[in-house]
Amino acid sequence: MDALESYLSAHQAELPENDSRLLREVAYERLKDALRHASLQPGEPLSENRISKALGISRTPVREALQMLSQEGLVEIIPGRAVFVASRSFREVLDVLYMRLLLEPELVRMVAETISAEQLDIMWDCLDRMDTAVDQEDRSAWSKADTVWHETLSDACPNRLLGEMVLQMRNRIHRYSNVDNQLKIEQLRLGTAEHRHIVEQIARRDAENAALAMRQHLESLRSNLFSQLIYA
């Protein structure tokens, strides 16, 4: 059993009955989660058959889910041959970071004016989970809380297209060598503090300082990623 199968087997979820669209969505979410958190290497082959067995569903929704992940740049599909974990490209990292720096400060500026109390509560809870994960040196738990934090932030954006684009850009960054699992604990502690500062500005409805805090966070992330990619 390889790393992907082991992860999928260890993180089972209830499957919908007789609904191909929902099965595709379940396969998509489960595989995306595995690509973020399992120990998969760029260029590692993925088997539709083995994935479908690990998920307990047919190959058709798995194939459709892999197509969706390919559109997000998380996997590479060679028609008629194979599917692979997407290979990392230093040029692409630069391009994605540039796009995030363009998009996310504006997203945060908009969110500061429209976010609900419930969404803020979720983001505060994520920060508590991230603090606990850092104290326990649990990178996987930190990464999962960080993912929910960013998904909530994007969901709070009144411009749905912008929210979706930001999540796609973040997913492209987080497929490189399982980024969160490569960062030092102190870097995760700093990242948590930066996230908290962003939420504090959003909670104050201070759109400009929230946008500035996000820009500073992304510049810090860029520095950490460059170190990882250069010295890995």
pLDDT, one tens digit per residue, over 192-201 is 999 999 999 9
Against a cut of 0.85, is the pTM above it?
no
pLDDT given at position 93: 74
What is the location of CATH 1.20.120.530 in the chain?
A: 90-231
Pull the structure tokens for residue 186. Answer: 């102190």
The superfamily in CATH containing domain 90-231 is GntR ligand-binding domain-like (1.20.120.530)
Q: With residue 82 as reference, give the H or E element that holds it.
A: strand 82-85
What's the number of CA atoms in the CB half-sphere (13 Å) around residue 75?
28
What is the location of CATH 1.10.10.10 in the chain?
A: 3-85
Please measure the distance between the N-terminal and C-terminal CA atoms of the chain and give it in whole angstroms: 26
Q: Comparing 14-18, 46-50, 138-142, 220-224, which segment has the lowest mean pLDDT?
A: 14-18
| CB of 73 closer than 8 Å to CB of 180 | no
Is the predicted pLDDT of residue 80 greater than 80, yes or no? no
| CB of 207 closer than 8 Å to CB of 112 | yes
User: How far, in Å, CA of 120 to CA of 122, rounded?
Assistant: 5
% of the chain exceeding 70 in pLDDT:
84
Is the predicted pLDDT of residue 177 greater than 60, yes or no? no
% of the chain exceeding 90 in pLDDT:
44
pLDDT given at position 17: 61
CATH classification number, 3-85, choose in 3.40.50.920, 1.10.10.10, 1.10.275.10, 1.10.1040.10: 1.10.10.10
* Higher per-residue pLDDT: 216 or 174: 216
User: How far, in Å, CA of 75 to CA of 43, rounded?
Assistant: 9
- The pLDDT confidence band at residue 228, using thresholds 50, 70 and 90, is low
pLDDT given at position 231: 40
Is the predicted pLDDT of residue 139 greater than 90, yes or no? no
